[in-house]
A and B are shown apart, each in its own frame.
Chain A
């Protein structure tokens, strides 16, 4: 059985190198940045890398970085695909609030937790589909189309919760936010599984190539016979789905749905994570694992600031300074400078 999509690869393209040397991964600016941030954290707080086993799970600052970074990492997985199509999804933070509000309100009204979780995921899919329809059918620019839900979505979430923080004690929802599997926090497990699955799906099928094609030139992709509209619908719906998962995690973590604050400004963190991961806002080339790495860099900085003992007035200054350095490292200018160095990777 051959997949028809495979034929879309031009035959003249050289085969992709399957075995890339580990050194080329280690010299990527993102990896260097993450290691640097982690080392700075270690210098500020010597116990940073200490991980202990407590109450049947790993416990330590490094685990905190993974755990706290997971919601943004999951958003970034969906966001990467959207940005690869030259779009952007500003509504994911609001969709998180809607998803959490839906699940929390349902369980507090006596609906079984599995149904509530499915309903929350379904609302995420619906929100994503709505964005996709605005972008494809009505052909509204993505930044405007998703801005609608970014603003209105938080209002929707507040309507669902009636403006209060809906507190719950349902074990399944709490497990999603704070449980552990094989000693790892549940959010980390979910993010890892989602990252591996999404990467396999886009890289082991032609889907990734098709997304890149639409991102580079939507018209050309359509003329080449791609169903660009359907592809965009899928991508935005997937971003909504990822946001719904993040919303469930964040609500489960604090055992309550906070419609005013859940996911607030996280869409910007997710976009930043994708950009740090090297995906261009102009569409085309993208990398899901790198975006997840980007989310971890952001969170490593946040955690570092918390344990460093700096006064909170410095938080944003430190964060922006580090981000500027990372983006400069990634810029074409520094790439040219690196190439001049003897022995640098080509």
Chain B
């Protein structure tokens, strides 16, 4: 017992020392961050978490909002290079057209870390990229549903994201992979809700009418929480109980889905963490301290949250992040 305690203490101490070393190592570093904009609550949360992570490490963060325009991002990166920053974080708005400006950064010896999205082009243009695995997010959601319903037959309706967008394609694929082996789970209907609450509600209304007033629906899988929140309202309007009559599973982990969990109206969400900057700073730290290049693709955790995970606490914790 005491050995374990000592070990735990040691690990704790090491952790403390390590974090102290981090604070020491990145203290006073100037890092530029070119953010896409604030098109969604998640992105606003990513911005505020990045600022908080930088502050905790004593980093002087130069923030540039590109308002959804690549030309603004390129201008911002050139500005960072001119200012002679130590590193640059970029959340690229599109996948192409980065070779020239990233080559300039490379020639100026400034490491670039991509956040949240990837780019097309030579991999030596950036130090590493931090992103979530969207296929895995879908898989985690599917596995949760498979274990929850067990062997009972279950008709699932799917609210897809915007047609052709990569999260919609990947989250659909991951979910289908997870339920592929289960003969009792079938996706009976699938339509796009454009990632919005009102479309999610409208599509779910249609599904409920088309499936015998909702009696033939056992679960709804939404590609994001906002559509799930809309679907929950549609289920309630139809006189059914979301969370028990129809299970609700979605992805993102925004505050409002935790509010729904508190009310017993949502069953699970898979987190798309807004903390992409934390792992990015850690990678930069390791790169500067040890000189080792980090792996090219850092994948963030896709954590599953259910009503057992203190939804009220999660709601309060996230509410201030700008979602």
Contacts and interface: CB of A to CB of B under 8 A. Distances in A.
B210 A164 contact: no
A313 to B, nearest CB: 6
Interface in B174-220: 189-192, 194, 196-198, 201-203, 205-207, 209-210
A165 interface: yes
B202 A258 contact: no
Interface in A248-262: 250, 253-256, 258, 260-262
B137 interface: no
Q: Which of B189, B191, B192, B238 has the most CB of A within 10 A?
A: B191
B209 A64 contact: yes
B232 to A, nearest CB: 10
A165 B256 contact: yes
Contacts of A42: none
Nearest to A44: B210
A316 to B, nearest CB: 8
Interface string A312-324: 1101000000000
Contact of A163 (B41, B210, B237): B41
B195 to A, nearest CB: 8
Contacts of B202: 64, 68, 302, 306
Given A55-B239, A253-B198, A254-B230, A307 B40 contact: no
Contacts of A183: none
Contact of B163 (A164, A262, A313): A313
A315 B194 CA distance: 12
Given A306-B202, A312-B192, A258 B239 contact: no
A165 to B, nearest CB: 6
A52 to B, nearest CB: 8
Nearest to A253: B198
A261 B209 contact: no
B302 interface: no
A267 to B, nearest CB: 16
B197 A165 contact: yes
Contact of B198 (A55, A59, A262): A262
B284 interface: no
B63 interface: no
B44 A163 contact: yes
Contacts of B160: 312
B39 interface: yes
Given A163-B44, A254-B198, A258-B198, A61 B209 contact: yes
B256 A167 contact: yes
B205 A163 contact: no
B38 interface: yes
Contacts of B256: 165, 167, 256
17 contacts: A54-B238, A60-B209, A68-B205, A162-B322, A163-B44, A164-B44, A178-B237, A253-B198, A254-B198, A254-B201, A254-B233, A256-B197, A258-B198, A258-B226, A306-B202, A306-B205, A315-B192
Given A61-B206, A258-B226, A307-B210, 20 more contacts: A55-B239, A59-B238, A64-B205, A68-B205, A158-B38, A163-B41, A164-B41, A164-B44, A165-B197, A165-B323, A167-B256, A250-B198, A254-B198, A254-B229, A256-B197, A305-B191, A306-B202, A306-B206, A307-B207, A312-B160
Interface of B: 38-41, 44, 160, 163, 189-192, 194, 196-198, 201-203, 205-207, 209-210, 226, 229-230, 233, 237-239, 256, 259, 322-323
Interface of A: 45, 47, 54-55, 59-61, 64, 68, 158, 162-165, 167, 178, 250, 253-256, 258, 260-262, 264, 302-303, 305-307, 309, 311-313, 315
